[in-house]
Structure formats: structure tokens, C-alpha cells
């Protein structure tokens, strides 16, 4: 689909162009939900949501699985502006009881360098889950610096900064129902 400049959005000093439409995202999330339903049928998974970026994806994905399960939130950070800072910090840890002997669906917004998952997955394993299924809405394989075993990917994208559908730029853009890509022409 062609877009004109009026479809661009501005967040702080940066401009972004439309990249993934709402309907495309919803269709893919429905497929991911069905795939998870098949893999975990008869189980009651713990949906472990990486805050803040994955909250919108997680809400849609959980509904699409139509599986009963509990929800748990985790918060880490590594990003400063549009660049990964390299050091991963944990601000909110998972509730141990919701992980031990549970089938965990780990819901991430985006795997970029892979450093967040590289740091977090061993911490999660220490809590003794029965299984971990890592689902990420977006994956930037060209930006990945360390290997990460991802079970399900929504969209594989180039290594450009994106916002919308839960993802922010410096606090803004999370409410957008579609995904936008940084327009470096500005
Ligand atoms: P990684 O540790 O894999 O480099 O990055 C993981 C986290 O960085 C993601 O959960 C997300 O919060 C943030 N991130 C990575 N790429 C982007 C991007 O293009 N846009 C936004 N808004 N956040 C990103």
C-alpha cells in the first residue's frame, strides 16, 4: 500500500512512517494464538509479559489462544532513546509461584540484540518452569548479537527503530494501533 507524508507521525523530534498496518498485525496475532493453542492445548500456561513494550501484544495474543492461564509481568530495561544500552536491568521480577512447574509463555515485543533474552532466560530457568515458549511479535535478526532460541515470531523486520502497538520512543507512541518505522530522511 502507498502512503503519503500525511500518514507520518512525529514523536518528540523524530518522524516515523507507517510500517505494519493494524489489520496485518491482528491477522498475524490471531495465527500466533492458534499456534500456541495447538502447542499448549489442555494446559494452563502462565503468560509472562515483558513490560512495558509487550503489554498490547500480550493482551491480544492471550485472547487469541483461548487458553485459561494466569498472567505475570516482568520489567527489564536496556534501551536509551533509539539505541540499546547493552546493560540489562531487572526492575520487576516474575512471581516465583507462577513460574515453578508451569508452562510459561514468555511474551516479548521485540528481539533486537538478543541481550535482554540472553540475560533473562537463565533467571527464568532458575525458577523451575515445566517449559518456556518464547513468542516475540518482532525480530530483527540482522541486529542480533547473541543467539536466542525463539519459538514463535510475528514479523521479521530490518534493523530499524519501530514504534506503536505497545512500543515507544522515549515514552511516546505506545497507544498507536499500527507499527511505524523511523524515517531517517528527516
Ligand atoms: P534487545 O535486548 O534484544 O536488544 O532488545 C530488547 C528490548 O529493546 C525490547 O524489549 C524493546 O523494549 C527494546 N527495543 C529493541 N528494538 C526496539 C525498537 O525498534 N523499538 C522500540 N520501541 N524498542 C525496541
Question: Block means of pLDDT (10 residues each) for the chain, length 186 residues?
Answer: 72 97 98 98 97 97 97 85 71 95 98 94 96 98 95 98 97 97 87
In a domain, 34, yes or no: yes
Question: How many structural domains does the chain have?
Answer: 1
Cα separation of the two ends of the chain: 22
CATH number at residue 160: 3.40.50.2020
E-only strand ranges, 40-175 = 46-51, 70-80, 83-92, 103-111, 131-139, 152-156, 162-163
| Nearest atom in ligand 1 to 140's CA | 16
Residues with CB under 6 A from ligand 1: 50, 53, 78-79, 84, 108-116, 161-163, 167-168
CA 96, 115, 152, 24 dihedral sign is positive
In a domain, 17, yes or no: yes
112 is catalytic: yes
What pTM, to 2 d.p., does this model score? 0.94
Amino acid at each position: 500500500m502507498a502512503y503519503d507524508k500525511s500518514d507520518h507521525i512525529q514523536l518528540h523530534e523524530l518522524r516515523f512512517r507507517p510500517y505494519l498496518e493494524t489489520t496485518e498485525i491482528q491477522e498475524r496475532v490471531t495465527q500466533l494464538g492458534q499456534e500456541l493453542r495447538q502447542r499448549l492445548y489442555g494446559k494452563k500456561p502462565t503468560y509472562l509479559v515483558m513490560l512495558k513494550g509487550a503489554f498490547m501484544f500480550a493482551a491480544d495474543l492471550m485472547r487469541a489462544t483461548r487458553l485459561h492461564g494466569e498472567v505475570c509481568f516482568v520489567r527489564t530495561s536496556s534501551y536509551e532513546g533509539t539505541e540499546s544500552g547493552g546493560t540489562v536491568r531487572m526492575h520487576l521480577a516474575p512471581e516465583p509461584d507462577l513460574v515453578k512447574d508451569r508452562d510459561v509463555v514468555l511474551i516479548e515485543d521485540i528481539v533486537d540484540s538478543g541481550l535482554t533474552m540472553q540475560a533473562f532466560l537463565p533467571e527464568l530457568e532458575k525458577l523451575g518452569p515445566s517449559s518456556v515458549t518464547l513468542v516475540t511479535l518482532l525480530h530483527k535478526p540482522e541486529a542480533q548479537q547473541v543467539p536466542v532460541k525463539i519459538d514463535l515470531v510475528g514479523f521479521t523486520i530490518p534493523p530499524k527503530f519501530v514504534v506503536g502497538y505497545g512500543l515507544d520512543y522515549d515514552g511516546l507512541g505506545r497507544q498507536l494501533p499500527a507499527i511505524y518505522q523511523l524515517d531517517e530522511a528527516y
